[in-house]
Amino acid sequence: MKFGTKAIHAGIEPDPSSGAIMTPIFQTSTYVQDAPGVHKGYEYARTQNPTRTVLEKNLAALENGKRAICFSSGLAALDAILKTLNPGDELISTNDLYGGSYRLMNSLYGKYGIKFHFVAMDNMSDLEQTINENTKMIWVETPTNPMLNIVDIKAVCDLVKGKDIQVCVDNTFASPYLQTPLDLGADIVMHSATKYIGGHSDVIHGCVVTNDESFADQLQYIQNAAGAVPGPQDCFLVLRGIKTMHVRVQRSCENAAIIAEFLDAHPKVSKTYYPGFKNHPGHAVAAKQMRMFGGMVSFDLVDGSEKNANAVLSNTHLFSLAESLGGVESLIGHPASMTHASIPREERLKVGLTDSLIRLSIGIEDVDDLKNDLAHALDQI
Ligand SMILES: *Cc1c(COP(=O)(O)O)cnc(C)c1O
Are residues 255 and 318 part of one domain?
Answer: yes
**Structural domain range at position 316:** 245-378
Are residues 23 and 80 part of one domain?
Answer: yes
- Average the pLDDT over 193-200 and give the result: 98
**Percentage above 70 pLDDT, the chain:** 100
Q: Atom 11, ligand 1: which residue's CA is nearest?
A: 98
Pocket flag, ligand 1, residue 98 (CB < 6 Å): yes
The overall pTM is greater than 0.85: yes
- pLDDT higher than 90, residue 187: yes
Pocket flag, ligand 1, residue 361 (CB < 6 Å): no
- pLDDT higher than 90, residue 75: yes
Are residues 44 and 69 part of one domain?
Answer: yes
Are residues 89 and 58 part of one domain?
Answer: yes
**Which ligand 1 atom minimizes the distance to the CA of 172?**
13
Query: For residue 97, what pLDDT is reported?
Result: 86
Are residues 294 and 174 part of one domain?
Answer: no
Pocket flag, ligand 1, residue 204 (CB < 6 Å): yes
- Average the pLDDT over 135-149 and give the result: 96
All residues at 6 or more sequence positions from 183 whose CB lies less than 8 Å from its CB, including other chains: 64
Are residues 187 and 326 part of one domain?
Answer: no
- pLDDT higher than 90, residue 196: yes
Mean pLDDT of the chain: 96
Are residues 210 and 276 part of one domain?
Answer: no
Q: Which of 2-11, 53-62, 334-343 has the lowest mean pLDDT?
A: 334-343
3-state secondary structure the chain: CCHHHHHHHCCCCCCCCCCCCCCCCCCCCECCCCECCECCCCCECCCCCHHHHHHHHHHHHHCCCCEEEEECCHHHHHHHHHCCCCCCCEEEEECCCCHHHHHHHHHHHHHHCCEEEEECCCCHHHHHHHCCCCEEEEEEECCCCCCCCCCCHHHHHHHCCCCCCEEEEECCCCCCCCCCHHHHCCCEEEEECCCCCCCCCCCCCEEEEECCHHHHHHHHHHHHHHCCCCCHHHHHHHHHHHCCHHHHHHHHHHHHHHHHHHHHCCCCEEEEECCCCCCCCCHHHHHHHCCCCCCEEEEEECCCCHHHHHHHHCCCCCCEECCCCCCCCCEEECCCCCCCCCCCHHHHHHCCCCCCCEEEECCCCCHHHHHHHHHHHHHCC
Q: Atom 1, ligand 1: which residue's CA is nearest?
A: 192
**Which ligand 1 atom minimizes the distance to the CA of 205?**
7
Number of domains in the chain: 2
Q: How far is the CA of 19 from the centre of ligand 1 (A)?
A: 35
Are residues 209 and 351 part of one domain?
Answer: no
Query: For residue 350, what pLDDT is reported?
Result: 83
Q: Which of 242, 265, 291 is the last residue of a domain?
A: 242
- Average the pLDDT over 238-251 and give the result: 98
Q: 95-118 pLDDT, tens per residue?
A: 888 889 999 999 999 999 999 999
Query: For residue 66, what pLDDT is reported?
Result: 98
Q: Which residues are known to be catalytic?
A: 46, 98, 170, 195
- Average the pLDDT over 46-50 and give the result: 97
User: In which band, very low, low, confident or very high, does the pLDDT at 304 lie, cut at 50, 70 and 90?
Assistant: confident
- Average the pLDDT over 238-246 and give the result: 98
Q: Which of 216, 242, 268 is the last residue of a domain?
A: 242
- pLDDT higher than 80, residue 342: no
Q: How far is the CA of 91 from the centre of ligand 1 (A)?
A: 18
Q: 245-280 pLDDT, tens per residue?
A: 999 999 999 999 999 999 999 999 999 999 999 999
Q: How far apart are CA 118 and CA 139, in angstroms?
A: 9
Q: How far is the CA of 173 from the centre of ligand 1 (A)?
A: 9
Pocket flag, ligand 1, residue 238 (CB < 6 Å): no
Are residues 282 and 225 part of one domain?
Answer: no
Q: Which of 81-85, 101-105, 222-226, 276-280 has the lowest mean pLDDT?
A: 101-105
Q: What is the CATH number of the domain that holds 280?
A: 3.90.1150.10
- pLDDT higher than 80, residue 57: yes
Query: For residue 49, what pLDDT is reported?
Result: 98
User: In which band, very low, low, confident or very high, does the pLDDT at 122 lie, cut at 50, 70 and 90?
Assistant: confident
Q: How far is the CA of 207 from the centre of ligand 1 (A)?
A: 11
Pocket flag, ligand 1, residue 194 (CB < 6 Å): yes
Q: Which of 199, 214, 242 is the last residue of a domain?
A: 242
Are residues 299 and 227 part of one domain?
Answer: no
- Average the pLDDT over 324-347 and give the result: 91
Q: 285-301 pLDDT, tens per residue?
A: 999 999 999 999 999 99
Are residues 228 and 259 part of one domain?
Answer: no
Q: What is the CATH number of the domain that holds 224?
A: 3.40.640.10
Q: How far is the CA of 181 from the centre of ligand 1 (A)?
A: 17
Are residues 355 and 255 part of one domain?
Answer: yes
